[in-house]
Chain A
Amino acid sequence: MLSPEERHEIEAEIAHYPDKRAVCIDAMKVVQKHRGWVSDEALGDVAEFLGMSVDELDSVATFYNLIFRKPVGRHVIMVCDSVSCWLMGYDRVRDHLTSRLGIQLGETTPDGRFTLLPIVCLGTCDHAPAMMVDNELHRDLDAEKIDSILEQYK
């Protein structure tokens, strides 16, 4: 069941479009904001709310990379793997992260603290390498900096 808050936020989006199905991505993001990810159940609720079939909604959900269809940790690290960051040492950043966290890309730490995902160019190429943790951007990364950043997220 969608919470009243979720409904409210989705309805606010619906007001911006001539067709309520147009907000399906926004609606999934609303759910994700509240629950971290979009479960099958949540998918069903959103689909019903927007008059879509679950299949239709999942077709959209699985197309986009910011919709999480699997549970994620409390914090999601998205590390940029595109060209400028690659030139500036993405491999090192990735290796440092995977060894520090003990997980591979696409995985979640056993304590549920972090999920590590690759992301495409974060548009901060002049400060590469970069990553985002939740909604925050971290740039000009090196091993030391990464360690202190990870400390900030419990």
Chain B
Amino acid sequence: MAKIWVDDKWYEVGADQSLLEACLELGFDLPYFCWHPALGSVGACRQCAVKQYRDEKDTRGRLVMSCMTPASEGARISIKDADAASFRAGVVEGLMQNHPHDCPVCDEGGECHLQDMTVMTGHNYRQTTYPKRTFRNQNLGPLINHEMNRCIQCYRCVRYYREYAGGRDLDAFASRNQVFFGRHQEGTLQNEFAGNLVEICPTGVFTDKTLKKHYTRKWDLQMAPSVCVHCGLGCNTTAAERYGSLRRILNRYNGHVNGYFLCDRGRFGYEFVRGEQRIKQTLARQDGKLKPLPKAKAIEQLGRVLPGNQKVIGIGSPRASLEANFALRTLVGPERFFSGMSDQGSHLVSLMEEILRQGPARTPSLSEIEISDAVLVLGEDVTNVAPRIALALRQSVRQQPMEFTDKLKIPRWLDHAVREAIQDVKGPLFIAAPSATRLDDAATATYRAAPDDLARLGFAIAHALDPQAPDVPDLAAGARSLAEQIAAALKSAKRPLVISGPSSSSAAVIEAAANVARGLAKAGQAVGLAFTMPEANSLGANLMGGGDLSAAFKAVEEGRADTVIILENDLYLKAPAAAVDRFLDAARHVIAIDYLSTPTVAKSELALPAGAFAESDGTLVSSEGRAQRFFQAYIPKDDIQQSWRWLIEMMRAAGRSEAESWSTLDDVIAALAQGISALAKITEAAPSAKFRKLGEKIARAPNRYSGRTSMLANINVSEPKPPDDPDSALAFSMEGYQEHPPPSLTPFFWAPGWNSIQSLNKFQSEIKGPLRGGDPGVRLIEPPETANGSFFSSVPKPFAARPEEWLLVPLYHIFGSEELSRQAPAVAELAPKPYLAVNSEDAAHLQVQAGDQIEVNLAGTAHRLPVAIHPDLPKGIAGFPAGVVSLEGTGLLAWSKLSRL
């Protein structure tokens, strides 16, 4: 702590801060541009100037940049000082010299930091009459719009993109007042985190291109706290709606989870909600086709099928909320409920859950991953599977080098000084995966091998850490010495971390990762163990229990069931098509609840349109084991309703007594918390619908909302009262509490004078730290204090390439591999075309070249794919783009002959 004086009053502030951070934390309105809490200080814009005085006697003082000056004990500054204020106004005046003043047509208008700072500094009139410099804009691909004339040269974009996110195709060109921020040539930005530029850029240079197609100003949006559904990490988002359609996704700060940043899949995948693939009407099979049926008729139909039916089973979903899954489980009964995961997925997720529950190590949050100082990634391409981890790891490799700059007494927030002192030195990061990953450039060493060999490397590392862990006696010398190098790096770290997951479809890989963590834990190290999860609620679905898909199939096959309710799940992605066909054909009644018309829906007799994430309330459990609540941004149109509401209606139709007491989300949550002890704590994920602040509900729309009395004036001037929301403490209105709702109920960030996302400063208890009132979510899984389990011992045999067969390994793609986001047009545009990848040697052996057609034969089905050459793939392995090519329905890794066409 340090005591500082601001305008003659003293305050206690945290140590190791800049004056700017300290002042913002104290609640002062001090303008800035180039500083960003996650990027630190570089002193470029000079907007944050304050007067600093040597001591009490110093009356003249001197201007300093508050972002570049430590808030050291006894520091005396003035924000109000006239020189400082006029200098700050001058900075805005300078910045505005070349600005086009085009706020009315700018997408940033209304949530623009430049607008806010202009008002804050009091610069009102443009005094220059000379011509402005102009630039040509670039097409940066389907995600980001570029309008360079609005640039104020704060350098945030390139600092974020290059220095923070590791991107290399956006840069600053030329010099003086002509610096151009863009690409060397037009083209799609290659970095997977480019979307954050939208929030990083303090003005309208980089904006959301997907929003442009259905643009709405921030003040006209109705917003709700949401959670990303496009991978297992559970990044917090804000879903925003107008006129009944979802308009955009913004990052929602959570100090423990995503912090300031999302990945592009998470930000731009939302358009599936608006897509052609949506089911909006209740559909029933008539004359072999699905046709709209009035909702009441559908309920009637359910009333004929369900009551007294002893042969109903329910297939839940790892992408549906806990509440929806639980409602289904309640409807059919726990023993007739299946988790909806593939056999393999279910097996691996259970294994991971057990490891997390039993120890040896605690699973870290994303913010803890960020400060790990030695990392092993075993069997995962995190950038493409759980992307936000990759961004965190790019920060983690700076941890060890920063210990050196600490010694030079360079404050960590003095960003460029730290980077110049560190240069390109990186801390230990080891990546072992079947193929090259997008994080390899940051890695100390990489290892490419078949899944079994990845596991063997892991086992060997564990053995090098602890001789009690099983050895891998026949390990090749190269792998052995790498294992020793990795063990040594992890051992000497303060906060080592092991990351693994199910992407290699190998239990051995997961067990090996657990062994490494155990080896470190036994040596007394504070080791973290993080697993990726296949879907947004995989861990939640697993905690809910229920058998795997084969068990469900068997129930129908054996005649124990004939009616199947499938919740938000496309079974064709989870099991071989032939098996799913057999199953669905054998069932007498197939009822699907989903928002997209999947192949599974197409096979159903009744399809009930469900609300997508932005249209639903519920709870998801992230790969960290964090239960997080998401809320409806708006009430969907047509027949669409939340899955759990459909299920309550089905319970009613089936004559189930629970239906009597279930009418709101809180009712379902209460029953769930009581029914499943592992999930009991989810009640703490967010306040209940009864919560009121100053007697009011929380407004989903900001104060400047166009006003509800005129919203639908084109239709009718007397507008209906906004809909009630029985399920949450949020109101579908601008009327209600606006200021500082509890973090898990914060629909948007806004503060007086701070219309942009920069208003976040006002919501954090520490800059960059937790939100005031604590970060949203509740952790469900903590390992026991002392983990005294034992090492896994089944070390697989070395992978042996087969003479004429190849092991088919899924390769993941941030754009394309995930089921929902790939329906979003912008994401689909960036998804890879189908391919089958082999290495050059195998290609030569097969006598094929890139682009040639090749045939894969799997479970009796032939797939034709063009060949791609991935020089880094191990021999004997063929890779295919997961999700883009649907070979994964096979579950386990499969061997196949490949034949040239």
Q: Which residues does A use to contact B, with CB under 8 Å?
A: 19, 40, 43, 53-56, 58-59, 62-63
A11 to B180, CA, bound (A): 31
- The segment out of B62-70, B166-174, B731-739 that lies at the interface is B166-174
Q: Which residues does B use to contact A, with CB under 8 Å?
A: 168-175, 180, 183-185, 423-424
Interface residues of chain A: helix, strand, loop or mixed (majority): helix
Residues on the B chain within 8 Å of A55, using CB:
168-171, 183-184
Residues on the B chain within 8 Å of A56, using CB:
168, 171
Residues on the A chain within 8 Å of B172, using CB:
59
Given known contacts A19-B424, A54-B184, is B169 in contact with A63 (CB within 8 Å)?
A: no
Residue in A40, A55, A59 with the greatest tally of chain B CB atoms within 10 Å: A55
Residues on the A chain within 8 Å of B170, using CB:
55
Shortest C-beta distance, B442 to chain A (Å), equals: 14
Write the chain B residue with the least CB distance to A21. B424
Shortest C-beta distance, B172 to chain A (Å), equals: 6
A48 to B170, CA, bound (A): 17
A19 to B422, CA, bound (A): 13
Residues on the A chain within 8 Å of B183, using CB:
55
Shortest C-beta distance, B185 to chain A (Å), equals: 8
Selected A-B contacts with CB under 8 Å, 23 pairs: A19-B424, A40-B185, A43-B184, A53-B168, A53-B169, A53-B184, A54-B184, A54-B185, A55-B168, A55-B171, A55-B183, A55-B184, A56-B168, A56-B171, A58-B171, A58-B173, A58-B184, A59-B172, A59-B173, A62-B174, A62-B175, A62-B180, A63-B175
Shortest C-beta distance, B649 to chain A (Å), equals: 55
Shortest C-beta distance, B44 to chain A (Å), equals: 15
Residues on the A chain within 8 Å of B185, using CB:
40, 54
Residues on the A chain within 8 Å of B168, using CB:
53, 55-56
Residues on the B chain within 8 Å of A43, using CB:
184
A58 to B168, CA, bound (A): 12
Write the chain A residue with the least CB distance to B169. A55
A93 to B335, CA, bound (A): 95
A58 to B183, CA, bound (A): 9
Residues on the B chain within 8 Å of A40, using CB:
185
Name the 8 nearest CB pairs between A and B, nearest first. Answer: A59-B171, A53-B168, A55-B184, A62-B173, A58-B184, A55-B171, A62-B174, A54-B184
Shortest C-beta distance, B364 to chain A (Å), equals: 32
Partner of B174, one of A19, A53, A54, A63: A63
A154 to B268, CA, bound (A): 59
Shortest C-beta distance, B184 to chain A (Å), equals: 4
A62 to B175, CA, bound (A): 8
A19 to B423, CA, bound (A): 10
Write the chain A residue with the least CB distance to B176. A63
A19 to B175, CA, bound (A): 24
A34 to B6, CA, bound (A): 60
Residues on the A chain within 8 Å of B174, using CB:
62-63
Write the chain A residue with the least CB distance to B158. A59
Residues on the A chain within 8 Å of B169, using CB:
53, 55
Shortest C-beta distance, B46 to chain A (Å), equals: 21
Q: A53-B184, A62-B173, A63-B173 are in contact. List 15 more A-B contacts (CB 8 A).
A: A19-B423, A19-B424, A43-B184, A53-B169, A54-B185, A55-B170, A55-B171, A55-B183, A55-B184, A58-B171, A58-B173, A58-B184, A62-B175, A62-B180, A63-B175
Shortest C-beta distance, B849 to chain A (Å), equals: 23
A62 to B184, CA, bound (A): 10
Shortest C-beta distance, A138 to chain B (Å), equals: 28
Shortest C-beta distance, A25 to chain B (Å), equals: 14
Shortest C-beta distance, B822 to chain A (Å), equals: 28
Shortest C-beta distance, B436 to chain A (Å), equals: 16
A132 to B24, CA, bound (A): 54
Write the chain B residue with the least CB distance to A43. B184
A55 to B168, CA, bound (A): 7
Shortest C-beta distance, A48 to chain B (Å), equals: 13
Residue in B171, B174, B183 with the greatest tally of chain A CB atoms within 10 Å: B171
Write the chain B residue with the least CB distance to A61. B173
Write the chain A residue with the least CB distance to B181. A59
A19 to B420, CA, bound (A): 14
Shortest C-beta distance, B198 to chain A (Å), equals: 20
Shortest C-beta distance, A73 to chain B (Å), equals: 23
Residue in B173, B175, B423 with the greatest tally of chain A CB atoms within 10 Å: B173
A58 to B169, CA, bound (A): 10
Shortest C-beta distance, B541 to chain A (Å), equals: 41
Residues on the A chain within 8 Å of B424, using CB:
19
Shortest C-beta distance, A89 to chain B (Å), equals: 27
A55 to B424, CA, bound (A): 18
Shortest C-beta distance, B535 to chain A (Å), equals: 34
Write the chain A residue with the least CB distance to B190. A53
Residues on the B chain within 8 Å of A54, using CB:
184-185
Residues on the B chain within 8 Å of A19, using CB:
423-424
Write the chain B residue with the least CB distance to A57. B184
A53 to B185, CA, bound (A): 12
Write the chain A residue with the least CB distance to B175. A63
Residues on the B chain within 8 Å of A59, using CB:
171-173
Residues on the A chain within 8 Å of B180, using CB:
62
Write the chain B residue with the least CB distance to A59. B171
A114 to B184, CA, bound (A): 28
Write the chain A residue with the least CB distance to B424. A19
A71 to B171, CA, bound (A): 23
A129 to B172, CA, bound (A): 35
Write the chain A residue with the least CB distance to B171. A59
A60 to B181, CA, bound (A): 13
A62 to B174, CA, bound (A): 5
Write the chain A residue with the least CB distance to B183. A55
A62 to B185, CA, bound (A): 13
Shortest C-beta distance, B352 to chain A (Å), equals: 37
Residues on the B chain within 8 Å of A53, using CB:
168-169, 184
Shortest C-beta distance, B420 to chain A (Å), equals: 13
Residues on the A chain within 8 Å of B171, using CB:
55-56, 58-59
Residue in A40, A53, A58 with the greatest tally of chain B CB atoms within 10 Å: A53
Residues on the B chain within 8 Å of A58, using CB:
171, 173, 184
Residues on the A chain within 8 Å of B184, using CB:
43, 53-55, 58
Shortest C-beta distance, A62 to chain B (Å), equals: 4
Residues on the A chain within 8 Å of B173, using CB:
58-59, 62-63
Write the chain B residue with the least CB distance to A18. B423
A55 to B184, CA, bound (A): 5
Shortest C-beta distance, A33 to chain B (Å), equals: 22
Residues on the A chain within 8 Å of B175, using CB:
62-63
Residues on the A chain within 8 Å of B423, using CB:
19
Shortest C-beta distance, B425 to chain A (Å), equals: 11
A78 to B151, CA, bound (A): 32
Write the chain B residue with the least CB distance to A47. B184
A58 to B185, CA, bound (A): 10
Shortest C-beta distance, B160 to chain A (Å), equals: 15
A40 to B186, CA, bound (A): 13
Write the chain A residue with the least CB distance to B168. A53
